[in-house]
Amino acid sequence: MNDTFTAYDPATLPASVVAYLDAHDEKRYADVAALFAPGATVLDDGKTYEGIEAIRAWSEKSSAEYTYTSTRIGQRTADGGQVTVRVRLDGNFPGGTVVLRYRFTLRAGLIGDLAIGV
């Protein structure tokens, strides 16, 4: 797999990926949940959240835990429609700064799976 990231350019990404990032940053949890396909999963911090209601609850809880700003710094699109966006978070969590990879797998234009990791 190609591990090279290019500069973040929302014009070249699928609409659902950009819409998720925007809704998440703006704390629009219903909009976040609406971007996921039925039966979708999110893997974050070693835990899996399955289904739209669980994903909505996760998005609310994960956004409320700490105060932070996010900066989208890179992206990569792989064969098979998988999209990874690198996001730098700066905030009041342990360590203060982290760069995360948001790996999206799309299904019929919606997010089928999202894995978040370093």
- What's the whole-model pTM score? 0.93
**Domains in the chain, please, with CATH?**
10-117 (3.10.450.50)
In this prediction, residue 6 has a pLDDT band, given cuts at 50, 70 and 90, of: very high
Alpha carbon 54 to chain centroid, angstroms = 15
Which position has the higher pLDDT, 62 or 81? 62
Does the pLDDT at position 2 exceed 70?
Answer: no
What is the DSSP annotation of 5-74? Answer: -B---GGGS-HHHHHHHHHHHTT-HHHHHHTEEEEEEEEETTEEEESHHHHHHHHHHHHHSS-EEEEEEE
Residue 88 pLDDT grade (very low, low, confident, very high; cuts 50, 70, 90): very high
Q: How many residues are given for the chain? A: 118
> What pLDDT is stored for residue 53 in this prediction?
94
Helix (H) / strand (E) element for 117: namely: strand 110-117
99 pLDDT above the threshold of 80 = yes
Q: Check residue 63 and give its pLDDT.
A: 78
For residues 19 and 79, the model is more confident at 19
Identify the pLDDT of residue 1: 46
Tell me the pLDDT tens digit for each residue of 20-58.
999 999 999 999 999 999 999 999 989 999 999 999 999
CB 63 within 8 A of CB 27: yes
